[in-house]
Amino acid sequence: MKQGDLVIRKSYGGDVLFRVAAFAANQAVLRGMDYRLLADAPVEDLQTVRNPDELGGTRQARIQANESFRRMNEARNRNNARTGFSSVADDRRQPFFELPGKVLHLDGDANYLKKSMQVYGQLNVPAEGVHCHESQMPQILLRMLPQVHPDIVVITGHDGVLKQREDLQQLSSYKNSLNFVQAVNVARDYERNRDSLVVVAGACQSHFEALLQAGANFASSPGRIMIHALDPVYVAVRASFTPFRDTINITDVIAHTISGRQGVGGIETMGRYRIGVPNTKPVISDQNVNIV
């Protein structure tokens, strides 16, 4: 077994597919392939997986991911229908132009960041992505916020409850929740108004209450469960395409994430989408990925 191998944990019945990130003595550090979970396990508890598609959990996660993307696309189309504009039959161009909310997405996982940026691109969400370790996120945000001027910030990566830590109200019981909280604090020092800067924060099993208290609009995980890699993206897309005069339908957004109410929660928040007229030229999506 080597770094980069796909594995499952035998003691958990092979419920989650992981990639081996590192080794420490007889322990392996694991990063979830479909869920934003950071874990460790004895090497003898691991089993190498050669064909992930044979795992029922992996197939289900991919089905859910496709369904999530379909819902994002439908929500975007419904939003276009609500603009009140109708295209003239002999005009190939919409009479209005769109200004979706711009996303700054920080991710502790390079593969998840790549998938997230693909989704933003397919849905024409202007986005800038940064891959960095969770511990670097406060410093990265401090530098990037004045450069990017985003409407929405996504702070995510991997997290998890530490073994033998029973007090779930203590940040020290989590692998990365403290890093996420510190990053949210930086975002709120930059912009106090939660409607001017929408913050989506957390990963699997993250300290939901601490993230909201720090100033996040949406966070994981109320039920301390695993969240799917695309759940933060789904919330960000809905914020990007909800008109600025409307409150994001929080019940609908959370119900349509893959993880549901136990995975994601939040507070009432205004959308960040605007339209303008006339449309003089096509609007080109702004897509950037940075590796730190």
Nearest alpha-carbon partner for 222 in 245, 254, 199, 191: 254
Distance of CA 227 to the CA centre of its chain: 9
For the stretch 149-195, pLDDT in tens is: 999 999 999 999 987 777 899 999 999 999 999 999 999 999 999 99
Out of 23-32, 92-101, 252-261, least confident range: 92-101
For residue 7, pLDDT beyond 60? yes
Instruction: Please tell me the pTM assigned to this model.
Output: 0.82
Sheet containing 127-131: which strands, arranged edge to edge?
Answer: 265-266, 218-219, 198-201, 152-156, 103-107, 127-131, 287-291
- Contact by Cβ (8 Å): 233, 104: no
For the stretch 73-131, pLDDT in tens is: 776 666 666 655 443 444 456 788 889 999 999 999 998 999 999 999 999 999 999 99
Burial degree of 169 (CB within 10 A; 0-12, 13-18, 19+): exposed
Q: Fold for domain 68-80+93-291?
A: Rossmann fold (3.40.50)
